[in-house]
């Protein structure tokens, strides 16, 4: 029989959600409210400790239960004030957070992490879980083993490190640093410098900005689309791969004119420059 427990607190200001959950799901909604509610559903809902103290909302599920040492499985739904911080540690449980939050510290083993908006600095770490962030306004750091990473819009600097997970970024306004083992990188738009190191992951930049792009890889294929009015200075080497530029003529770069500095070094990967 599935049981459910409800908890309610008066909260006239944003809180810090501290959630520790092994199995199940965590659904969070941030909205304009002066109260916070927590609903815990599952066979062991009564074992989950829910408490609010000094602005910290704690939701803690027991780590293990029974002879097989499996984490308790529960589904947790939280509604809290807009601007609340997220401090989440999950095992296989998934996180879905709708609305706008402050700072974020998100960790999971294999659970997926999905958040609408984070206005503060954010740290994300996963083993094999996928990460999807719609909007991050503070500095963002993501570490993932094999999970894919998707960020639609980042207003500040972004640093991403993955083993085999792919990285897809919509728009990055700050500097971008990416390190992958075999994961691919796709950047739609960027406004700061880009630096990437990869073993075998491929790189696609949909529209290069007047800054510096530095790419290093072993078997990495690279495609960079450059606006037709943007001069470019290139330093490209590929030992056994091909280098091809299908771009329109443009003026030479000068110190007093915005231009792109493109540095690419790959062993066997192909490099292709095209018009944006």
**pTM, rounded to two decimals:** 0.94
Say how far apart CA 29 and CA 17 lie, in whole Å.
Answer: 11
Q: What is the mean pLDDT of the segment spanning 125-131?
A: 98
Q: Give domain limits for the chain.
A: 82-275
Say how far apart CA 128 and CA 147 lie, in whole Å.
Answer: 4
Torsion angle of the four alpha carbons 192, 196, 201, 206, in this order, in degrees rounded to the nearest 10: 20
Say how far apart CA 109 and CA 116 lie, in whole Å.
Answer: 20
Q: What is the mean pLDDT of the segment spanning 44-70?
A: 84
pLDDT over 50 (residue 67)? no
pLDDT tens, residue by residue, 193-235: 999 999 999 999 999 999 999 999 999 999 999 999 999 999 9
* DSSP helix/strand/coil, 47: helix
Q: Which residues contact 193 (CB under 8 A, 6 or more apart)?
A: 175, 176, 211, 212, 213, 214
pLDDT tens, residue by residue, 95-120: 999 999 999 999 999 999 999 999 99
Q: What is the mean pLDDT of the segment spanning 58-87?
A: 85
């Amino acid at each position: 029989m599935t049981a459910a427990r409800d908890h309610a607190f008066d909260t006239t200001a944003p809180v810090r959600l501290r959630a520790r959950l092994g199995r199940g799901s965590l659904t969070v909604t941030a909205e304009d409210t002066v109260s916070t509610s927590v609903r815990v559903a599952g066979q062991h809902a009564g074992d989950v400790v829910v408490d609010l103290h000094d602005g910290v909302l704690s939701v803690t599920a027991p780590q293990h239960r029974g002879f097989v040492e499996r984490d308790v499985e529960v589904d947790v739904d939280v509604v809290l004030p807009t601007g609340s911080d997220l401090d989440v540690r999950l095992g296989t449980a998934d996180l879905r957070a709708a609305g706008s939050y402050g700072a974020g510290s998100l960790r999971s083993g294999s659970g997926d992490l999905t958040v609408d908006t984070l206005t503060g600095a954010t740290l994300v770490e996963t083993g094999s879980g996928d990460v999807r962030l719609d909007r991050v306004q503070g500095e963002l750091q993501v570490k993932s083993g094999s999970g894919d990473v998707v960020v639609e819009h980042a207003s500040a600097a972004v640093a991403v490190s993955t083993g085999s997970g792919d990285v897809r970024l919509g728009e990055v306004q700050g500097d971008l640093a990416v390190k992958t083992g075999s994961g691919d990188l796709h950047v739609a738009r960027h406004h700061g410098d880009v630096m990437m190191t990869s073993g075998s992951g491929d790189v696609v930049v949909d529209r290069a900005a007047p800054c510096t792009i530095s790419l290093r890889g072993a078997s990495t294929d690279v495609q960079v689309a450059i606006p037709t009015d943007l001069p470019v200075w290139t330093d490209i080497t590929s030992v056994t791969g091909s280098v091809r530029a299908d771009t329109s003529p443009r003026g030479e770069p000068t110190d007093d004119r915005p231009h792109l500095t493109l540095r690419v070094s790959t062993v066997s990967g192909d490099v292709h420059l095209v018009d944006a």
